[in-house]
Structure 1
Amino acid sequence: MALSIQHQAQDQQFTTSQDGNSAELAYSRPSDGVIDFTHTFVEEDLRGQGIGEELAKTGLAYARDENLQVRTTCTFMRDYVAQHLEYQDLLEKN
């Protein structure tokens, strides 16, 4: 299954849908050079298929491409980044 994820910059989210169900990774831009991933939601029928992880990868790739520091207010994203060392360099420096 190829997952198509859209970046809806005007709504500050990454989204995907499949079989009438949807999933999203929402973010905010609290300051210049910072992206805060605030919320991840995957409808029940899509859970357990790795869709949250694909949304995370897409959002983090966007942050890297745009040279943004990452804040993870969303607990799913906080846990995902903590488990994937390749994203540690993106975390916001305090």
Structure 2
Amino acid sequence: MEIKQDDKRFFIGKGENPEAYIHFENFGQDKLIIDHTYVGESLRGQGIGEQLVDAVVEHAREENRKIVAHCPYARDVLTDNEDYEDVFIGLRSSE
């Protein structure tokens, strides 16, 4: 599945009606806020949501930004993966 990007989303499918997407907003010069993740029923259980979170993580790294996750799903994925510590601003379960 090809993950595409526009100004505020990574998505799978057509841009006007994607099958899955993760939406983010720029916050200041150095942060991104993930506020919503959606995976359509036909794509669930395939790791698509995690792939979308990973796409935002790579984007944040390329732009030297940090991520704040208001979306509960994205926050859980980011919290549970130590590989994202360099970009994620949030409490870890061990804190």
Residue from 41, 59, 68 that aligns with 2:38: 41
| TM-score (normalizing by structure 1) | 0.85
The code of the aligned residue for 1:73 comes to H
1:28 to 2:15 alignment: no
Residue from 43, 57, 61 that aligns with 2:58: 61
- More helix per residue: 1
Which ranges of structure 2 fall in alignment gaps of 5 or more residues? 91-95
1:30 Cα shift?
2.1
RMSD: 1.9
Counterparts in 2 of 1:12-27, with a 5 A limit? 12-17=8-13, 22-27=19-24
The CA distance in 1 between the partners of 2:87 and 2:18, in whole Å, is 30
The CA distance in 1 between the partners of 2:48 and 2:23, in whole Å, is 14
Mapped contact 2:21–2:37 kept (Cα < 8 A): yes
Mapped contact 2:11–2:18 kept (Cα < 8 A): no
The CA distance in 1 between the partners of 2:74 and 2:29, in whole Å, is 20
The CA distance in 2 between the partners of 1:6 and 1:38, in whole Å, is 18
Mapped contact 1:7–1:14 kept (Cα < 8 A): yes
| TM-score (normalizing by structure 2) | 0.84
